[in-house]
Structure 1
Amino acid sequence: MNPTIKDVAKQANVSIATVSRVLHNLGGYSDKTKQRVNQTIKELKYQPNAIARGLINKRTQTIGVLFPDVSSAFSSDLLYGIDGFVHNRNYSVMVCNTAQDGKRTLKYLQLLREKQVDGIIFIFSSEVLKKEYYDMLESMNIPVVLISSQTDFAKVPYVKVDDYQAAYDAVDYLLTKGHSKIAMISGTKGDPIAGTPRVEGYRKALEAHGIAFESRYLVYGDFLYESGSRAMEVILQEAPEVTAVFAANDEMAIGALSSVTKQGLNVPGDISIMGYDDLRLARMVNPPLTTVRQPLYDIGMIASEKLISMIESGEPAKSQICAHSIVERHTVRAII
């Protein structure tokens, strides 16, 4: 017969409530008591019953996380932060891949409803929270936090960087290095989250330095490696005078770097390249990529903290804009 929480409490000579508090890291006991309870749990090979816990506190200790692409480096860096925080709070994560166009989103929301998750983290790298999603979330009556997006729905907080300002600062950095012929590889045209704001930041930084915007210097991709490579080929062919390229994410920047190398050119000797995100891949490529850093791990942790606070307190949380920074590596040179 499997040991119960009563068995643990009896052998450890503590109350059932104390065992429960140790299991949930709630405090209110000494380190000696915690060690004794944990040792007893180990000796008895006690396994907490998640279903029983759920009946007591009306929770499953599970959160849903929806990504547009679970295989991307962007998603994995965020998930690392999310999982690190929720694990320490005794929650589990259920990851769903909604696909780039969001065609699976409603299907997965229904699945998360059936699994009775306690809350949801929505990652939108290039999409807004549609009303049809919000309506289903409202019917589920659970808290939601957005990452890398924002919304006018008052009940839904978000955690992100200021995309406009981050792009502005990236281009301003290139300008201070002496570059004036700067091209941009943008994400999806018309994307209101990671597309348009970053393009506006690019244009405003040029304007602030008295440099006219050249439409042929702006090429659109889709945030994937292959589109960055193709966009760089277009820039090299249509605007060979360009001395620097700012890409709207690291994956496209790395694609651009690959194209330059295939053309027999040197980065940064012949052309400088700057990315956006500071993925782990950015420091693994050769040469290591200069980029704008989004603190993705921290963003994942902050979003998780807000969500669990909403779950456990029933109180709303505020949105948060996280600080970005320029990470200098070896793909940008100064022009004398």
Structure 2
Amino acid sequence: MSHTIKDVAKQAKVSTATVSRVLNGLSGFSKETEEKVLRAIKELGYQPNAIARGLVSNKSNTVGILFPEVSSQFSSNILRGVEEAVHDLGSSVIVCNTASQGKRTMKYLQLLAEKRVDGILFVSEKMTEEYYKQLKSMKVPVVLVSTESYQYPLPFVKVDDKHAAFTATDYLVKMGHSKIGMIGGNTQDPIAGQTRVDGFKQAMAYNGLAIIEESIIHSPGFSFKDGYIHFPKLLEQSPDLTAIFAASDELALGAISSAHKAGIKIPDELSIIGYDNLPVAEMAIPPLTTVAQPLEQMGRVAAEMLFTMMAEGTIVESRIMPHSVVERDSVKRLSMRRGMLYEHQN
């Protein structure tokens, strides 16, 4: 049997209005009265109705989070950090899988408006004028995660994708490689597509290495399948590569699988570095060297920023998160001697 607020009031011998004030953290009752109400709630196992509480406080105690792909390890890591922070702050999360489709994104934004969420986290998708107008009409705080917008004044949490791609490529150079290729994502993606290609090219130029367009291949996305399909195409265009920077861990793992099918040994014959440091990177054979994004921390920080905006009604500063190279076994160390490559003997 589920009990109501009236049952709690009867048990505590107070009015329903007093029970409501206790539940919503308002004043106007003694410490003794509060203890009586809380004891009655515990004895009856009463669960406050979130919608009813929202009518009193004008809050739903929920935030919405929109992902282009909920099932990915990338999304699940961010979500873990978000949920930890949100639950610690006394709210819940509504998760929406937009599948990077405009119509579905708009549908979910309208749903979140109907649910009267207190704030929104918008993850890894380009902010369009249509989305922004809908968000603005909802009059709730918004924080972007792993994306940013130059056009619209929305705070964000992300790594510097161009700098991180530079770091990955520069690492390969420091490991003795000069014939380096790249498997990138869609260049029409302004967040992680073109910026990571730009970082790759900047690192090559910085180290005095030629930028050969045939050594860069662009895939429609960042998935395992994209890496698997485009790896042989890259080697067909540039057969003399000794190392590859893949713009995501999934691309890198797809390339490693494709290399295995072709009888190419990683890293003995070809080195590969990824981007993200997903849990599966450590499970790969060989374990994948990659550039780490602090995804769980990004989710937690974004949620905390959102709650600050909800509490204070102000815009918070955006956060650029640190990145680093996690060394494993997919990159072979080489050195230059008289123009020839040789393996270090350690």
Asked whether 1:264 is paired with 2:263, we answer yes
**AA at the equivalent of 1:260:** A
- Give the share of equivalent positions with the same residue, in percent: 46
| Aligned ranges 1:145-294 → 2 under 5 Å | 145-152=143-150, 155-221=153-219, 222-294=221-293
SS in 1 for 2:316: coil
Q: What is the count of residue pairs matched by the alignment? A: 321
SS in 1 for 2:274: strand
Matched with 1:107 is 107
Structure 2: 5+ residue stretches without partners? 336-346
Q: Matches of 1:7 and 1:153 in 2, distance apart?
A: 56
State the 1:248 CA deviation: 0.5
Asked whether 1:138 is paired with 2:139, we answer no
CA 1:219–1:10: 2 relative to 1, 3 Å = farther
Matched with 1:2 is 3
SS in 2 for 1:99: coil
CA 1:19–1:8: 2 relative to 1, 3 Å = farther
Deviation by residue 1:51-92 (Cα, 9 ceiling, x = unmatched) = 221012101011111111112111111111111111111211
CA 1:9–1:283: 2 relative to 1, 3 Å = farther
Is residue 8–residue 46 contact of structure 1 (8 Å, CA) maintained in 2?
no
Q: Matches of 2:334 and 2:209 in 1, distance apart?
A: 16
TM-score, normalised to structure 2, is 0.86
Q: Matches of 1:242 and 1:231 in 2, distance apart?
A: 14
Matched with 1:121 is 121
Asked whether 1:71 is paired with 2:71, we answer yes
Matched with 2:95 is 95
Matched with 2:343 is none
Is residue 24–residue 57 contact of structure 2 (8 Å, CA) maintained in 1?
no
Q: Structure 1 residues 183-192 or 157-166, which shifts more?
A: 183-192
Deviation by residue 1:291-313 (Cα, 9 ceiling, x = unmatched) = 00000000011111111121122
**AA at the equivalent of 1:138:** K
State the 1:235 CA deviation: 2.1
Q: Matches of 1:282 and 1:130 in 2, distance apart?
A: 32
CA 1:85–1:20: 2 relative to 1, 3 Å = same
Q: Matches of 2:295 and 2:174 in 1, distance apart?
A: 27
SS in 2 for 1:112: helix
Is residue 69–residue 97 contact of structure 1 (8 Å, CA) maintained in 2?
yes
**AA at the equivalent of 1:201:** G
SS in 2 for 1:104: helix
Q: Matches of 1:142 and 1:313 in 2, distance apart?
A: 12
Which of the pair has more CA radius of gyration? Answer: 2
State the 1:179 CA deviation: 0.4
Structure 1: 5+ residue stretches without partners? 23-28
Q: Matches of 2:315 and 2:295 in 1, distance apart?
A: 23
Matched with 1:25 is none
Q: Matches of 1:101 and 1:274 in 2, distance apart?
A: 30
CA 1:89–1:240: 2 relative to 1, 3 Å = same
Matched with 2:338 is none
TM-score, normalised to structure 1, is 0.89
Q: Matches of 1:266 and 1:66 in 2, distance apart?
A: 39
Deviation by residue 1:270-317 (Cα, 9 ceiling, x = unmatched) = 111100011111111111110000000000111111111211221221
Q: Matches of 2:310 and 2:178 in 1, distance apart?
A: 50
Matched with 2:342 is none
